[in-house]
Structure 1
Amino acid sequence: MLAYDVFSAEKPGKRLLLLGTVHGNETCGYFAIERLRKKIISGELLLESGEITTVPISNERAFRQGVRLTEDNLNRSFFWSGDGHFLSDNGNKIVENEDVGNQFDMRAEMGDIELQKKVGQAPSSYEQERAKELARLFVSKDAEIDIHSQTAEGESYCFGQNESLELKSYLNALGTKNIIYGWDKMYPEGDFTSENLAEKMGILGTTVECGSHENPDSIEFAWRVILNALKYLKIISDKTYLQQFVQMDEKYRYQKISKNLRMIKMYRWIDGGKMTHDWKHLETINEGDVIAHTNSGETIIAEEDCLMILPNYHPIRNNEEWFYLAKIED
């Protein structure tokens, strides 16, 4: 059973959903959300208005095992809306009373789970079950943050699912150093991430990457993001925010967005391969640089100046995401 807490102020206001450990080995969200829970319960952090729903452990089985996933990628498994309806193959509409099995042939070819089921049929894996449970918590929320970390070292960033002024304002307030747009364009077969679900349900949603798994700074960046969100949504007062803010080390305090990035390409790990060196997340790649070699004999060369995004040095499945490329926007 999914464990979560709901903390409400007496005064009505915005309602925020916080998710941690959607990937079980990405624990910065767990520790930051647990810190928030303890501060609220102890009375150290007072809510001014609204409501916070906290899920420190979203993927309990993977979290207990210390692994990213057990059967499926939970952050590619949000196939259901909050009311249990099945999302279509491109995630852009909700379908009812329709056999949608054949719509997922492309997903099967690309290494994801083949979904041959009808609307309302039970999920076929542990992560799909959790995704359907988590989706219910999105109902009646105003904002959502899914807190992650990454394998490679690199700066913090968040994803912009769309480019509305409202979402841009929210993302800029979170204080990450970068915002990445165009993630959904990397998945023409369907985007079934938490931020996509948030968008389809009319919520200000994002996934935030707070640094590498092993870097303790990732917990502090996650904590800063949470505080910035609470202040922006007026769930805590400026006074409460300042009280928490001054307790942080200066290097973790709010910083303005330095770069907006645009995703341009994604490469999958097909039958093995090796990168030319240990690329860091957001490392600069020059046009003509050799990025990687595949076991099938292909040499992957940068077609233009770009940045490395989320290099995956430990792929465990054929066709799993290997790395992405992005450009800095003017």
Structure 2
Amino acid sequence: MTSTPLLPFESVSFAGRASGPRLIVTGAVHGNETCGTQGIRRVLEEIRSGALAIERGVVTFVPVCNPLAYAKKDRIGDRNLNRNLAPTPNPKDFEDHVANWLCPLLASHEALLDLHSTRGKTEGFALVGPQDNQGLIEPFKHSKAERDMAKHLGVKRFVEGWLDTYARGVARRRANAAANPLAADAIYGVGTTEYMRSVGGYAMTLECGQHDAPESPEVAYQAIRNTLAFLGHVNGPPPAEVKTYEALRLHEVIDRDHAEDKFSRAWASFDALAPGDLIAIRNDGTEIRAPKHGRILFPDVGAKPGHEWFYLAETIGEI
């Protein structure tokens, strides 16, 4: 665990003179994903200079959610902040302290735009929540508002089905002695957006592109500006709604069981899969093949045994 828990947390809020929604925009939940931080700081400069005016509602910006991970230029400080996110009366690691500060801040807002990036090269895409439901895994009642917001971000690919797919993985992990004990708990799938939905808001994760791609900060910046205009925080015409897009639904998560489990090739998110395509080979020689047409998402060559290794997604008609 870290011995430097005194790093400060920073949020910056602006309130318009007219009533409106309460939006929070977050960056650097993972410390090596800095495009959101750059996009947020660019918008902050515009607001402070008077080039952009918040006319309605409240907007809060968190340029760096995890200052320890950010200082390390690494994905994590002590652990993954975007898993098992919840307040705790007995914080044990740095991310617990972040959660005790960040969770009440999220709960005081109505909408969240959480800005991330990916290891592999890909276009920007948004992860949206479930359809409205009263189920046990992720009950929700703001699906239309969330998906309307997603269609105005400026990206053309959307993915749903995170938490219920993760929950199915949890059931399998519980029977696997090699699994990470935390990862065998359904709450371990809860990150910023899932927590926001659990306290009555709506939210989305925007993956802005590859970590170091020069266009990723621009994707983050445009998404912030588009969201401010769409929700009415700033004056001016709303951004155009994307009409042609790819919609996908996660349907399976595959964990890495052994350090010698290997991918069959260097996969990248959204690579196409056909039925029977060889994806990976286990240490014991077991082959993992695609069950149907779809795409692979979030392949992680550095995944540790007992952690998620990659996801499978299928095309759906619309979000």
When normalised by structure 2's length, the TM-score is 0.83
Aligned to 1:282, which of 270, 273, 283?
Answer: 270
- 1:171 maps to 150
Aligned to 2:104, which of 112, 136, 144?
Answer: 136
Q: Distance in 2 between matches of 1:255 and 1:233?
A: 16
- 2:181 maps to none
- 1:113 maps to none
* Structure 1 vs Structure 2 CA RMSD: 1.7
**CA distance 1:54–1:257, shift in 2 (3 Å):** farther
- 1:266 maps to 253
Deviation at 1:301, TM superposition (A): 0.4
Q: Distance in 2 between matches of 1:194 and 1:2?
A: 16
**CA distance 1:302–1:294, shift in 2 (3 Å):** same
1:162 paired with 2:130, answer: yes
Deviation at 1:256, TM superposition (A): 4.1
What residue ranges of structure 2 are gaps of 5+ in the alignment?
A: 1-7, 132-142, 168-185
Residue identity in the other structure for 1:67 = D
Q: 8 Å contact 2:146–2:204 — kept in the other structure?
A: no
Encode CA deviations 1:89-127: one digit per residue, 9 max, x unaligned: xxxxxxxxxxxxxxxxxxxxxxxxxxxxxxx53122111
Correspondence list, 1:232-311, <5 A: 232-238=230-236, 255-256=242-243, 258-272=245-259, 273-311=261-299
1:36 paired with 2:43, answer: yes
- 1:97 maps to none
Q: Distance in 2 between matches of 1:254 and 1:130?
A: 35
Aligned to 1:150, which of 81, 105, 118?
Answer: 118
Identity rate of aligned residues, in percent? 30
- 1:194 maps to 192
Residue identity in the other structure for 2:282 = T
Q: 8 Å contact 2:28–2:36 — kept in the other structure?
A: yes
Deviation at 1:68, TM superposition (A): 0.3
The alignment partner of 2:9 has SS state of: coil
- 2:71 maps to 64
Deviation at 1:257, TM superposition (A): 5.0
Q: Distance in 2 between matches of 1:271 and 1:128?
A: 28
Q: Distance in 2 between matches of 1:128 and 1:144?
A: 20
1:11 paired with 2:18, answer: yes
Deviation at 1:294, TM superposition (A): 2.1
Q: 8 Å contact 2:151–2:241 — kept in the other structure?
A: no
Q: Distance in 2 between matches of 1:283 and 1:147?
A: 22
Q: Distance in 2 between matches of 1:284 and 1:170?
A: 27
The alignment partner of 1:50 has SS state of: strand
Residue identity in the other structure for 2:65 = S
Q: Which range moved further: 280-289 or 269-278?
A: 269-278
